[in-house]
Amino acid sequence: MATGEIKSEASSLLLAWSGNHLQWLQCRNLTVLRCDTLPVNDAEGLGKALAELKSDFPAIQSVQFASDLPYFSLAPARVSAGMEKALQALHLGTDEADSLPFYTEAFGEEAALIERDIAGYQKQVEAFWPQAKRVSIALVFLETVILETRKHDKPGCIAVHVGHERALMSLFANGQLLWSMTTDDIAGDGILYHVVNAMKRHELEDGLDMEVWFSGQLDEEGELVQRFGRFFERVMVKKPSVEWAEEPQAAQHWNALANLLPCE
């Protein structure tokens, strides 16, 4: 823990585990009280980290937990119903992991985002908080971006959230989600390569007004931001629109998890 103190105020807890890193955020309504990232690379280590959080925050009233930047498939709900495992195998290859569907109407027709689960994650969380709610960081991220592009009438937007091991990439044009995927190809030109290929596949015209929104484990003056800046005029690093009891040095690291606010 960052402080080692027991914090007894009534609050909520948000969790995101990638399989190697655990992000947690303690909040009340739209105020972030504390946050941290812990190296946790297996279910046993996760149990120990959660036990410490449970001990340090005994007055937690609600918990939401998500896989951090999971691999996923996105399909119309009418197509995916009952076919989640088959669609996952088709898009991501065969894997023993369970399929987790989440549903939305934010993109028009009802759609299902089907995540590849992390073995042991839900069992460990529910052992400490049986009423914890499973949510999708990937889906909430995409919903948040499309709502913002529509609200501010943005013709085109590339939104990328970079994690420790993976990145979630997405492409929007004229209020529609065109493409999204998770990649572990985050070194060098990997992310730029995927984004440019997606733009070409969707035949987006060169004159389309396009913004690039970054968040996650990167810096405003970092190499990735600079690399995109050579191809796009408007590149920005987005930070959470929340209140901080004490704002962290790099608030953009928490953007995807903070999208789950307000806490209940």
Among the residue ranges 139-143, 194-198, 207-211, 248-252, the one predicted with the least confidence is: 207-211
User: Rounded to an integer, what distance in angstroms lies between the CA atom of residue 28 and that of residue 30?
Assistant: 6
For residues 20 and 40, is the Cβ–Cβ distance under 8 A? yes
Please check the confidence at residue 191 and state whether its pLDDT lies above 50. yes
pLDDT of residue 77: 85
pLDDT in tens, 21-50: 999 999 998 899 999 999 999 999 999 999
Please check the confidence at residue 163 and state whether its pLDDT lies above 80. yes
pLDDT of residue 3: 45
For residues 20 and 130, is the Cβ–Cβ distance under 8 A? no
pTM for the model: 0.91
Q: Which residues pair with 34 in a beta bridge?
A: 26
Share of the chain above pLDDT 90, in %: 72
- Per-domain boundaries in the chain: 71-117
pLDDT in tens, 85-97: 666 666 666 666 7
Beta strands per DSSP E along 2-144: 11-17, 21-28, 31-39, 60-67, 72-76, 99-104, 111-116, 133-134
Average confidence score pLDDT of the chain: 90
For residues 103 and 77, is the Cβ–Cβ distance under 8 A? yes
157 membership: H or E segment, kind and range: strand 156-162
